[in-house]
Amino acid sequence: MQQAGVNAYMAMQKEGLSGRDLEAAVLNRAANMLRECQEKWGQEGFEALLDQAVTFNQRIWSFFQGELSSPDNPLPREIRENILSLSVFVDSRLIDVLMNPAPELLNVVISINQNLAAGLMQKTKQDDAQDQAVNPGELVVSA
């Protein structure tokens, strides 16, 4: 399962994204896939769409779990633990959706994905602004 998460990341990296921008893009894509399921709920073929969206979300959250569990992860312990707790909740909710399909069950996962992505993007903007303040006039390229 973790390899599949890596593959999802690599697919997004081909679009020229890296670091926090990449993580935010992957989370936004996951949220959009779930939202599309809600919009097409009950229509022909929505089951396959739901399966793809849930699988994608499970893969990226499994990837995050692996990364956050690594002793080399630079995030503070409390943040890692909070995101890991979120990942357990997301896993549980996605299983609920598969066992008892209902479009409203997707709302909280969509919200978590969007809010985490927004936080990552905000942090990226703050980092870029700090880099510009330290080195005015220099081009800042995110790693």
Distance CA 39, CA 75 (A): 36
Distance CA 34, CA 55 (A): 11
pLDDT digits (tens, 9 = 90+) for 105-143: 999 999 999 999 999 988 655 555 554 444 444 433 333
User: Considering the domain boundaries, does residue 140 fall inside one?
Assistant: no
Distance CA 41, CA 102 (A): 9
User: Considering the domain boundaries, does residue 137 fall inside one?
Assistant: no
Low-confidence ranges of the chain (pLDDT < 70): 1-18, 123-143
Distance CA 86, CA 132 (A): 33
Helix (H) or strand (E) holding 9: helix 2-13
User: Considering the domain boundaries, does residue 46 fall inside one?
Assistant: yes
Report helix angle 2-13 to 19-39, nearest 10. 100
User: Considering the domain boundaries, does residue 29 fall inside one?
Assistant: yes
SS3 75: coil
Please give the pLDDT value at position 98: 96
User: Considering the domain boundaries, does residue 104 fall inside one?
Assistant: yes
- Alpha carbons within 13 angstroms on the beta-carbon side of residue 80 total 13
**Cβ density class 85-102: b for 16+ within 10 Å, e for less:** ebbeebbebbeebeeeee
Question: Alpha-carbon dihedral of residues 65, 119, 126, 23, nearest 10 degrees?
Answer: 40
Radius of gyration of the chain from Cα atoms? 17
Please give the pLDDT value at position 128: 52
User: Considering the domain boundaries, does residue 141 fall inside one?
Assistant: no
Note the residue count of the chain: 143
Please give the pLDDT value at position 20: 86
Please give the pLDDT value at position 127: 54
Please give the pLDDT value at position 60: 96
Total domain count, the chain: 1
User: Considering the domain boundaries, does residue 133 fall inside one?
Assistant: no
Please give the pLDDT value at position 45: 94
Instruction: Specify the CATH number for the domain of residue 26.
Output: 1.20.120
User: Considering the domain boundaries, does residue 64 fall inside one?
Assistant: yes
Domain that includes residue 11, residue range:
2-128
Single-letter residue type at 85: S
Please give the pLDDT value at position 8: 53
Please give the pLDDT value at position 15: 53
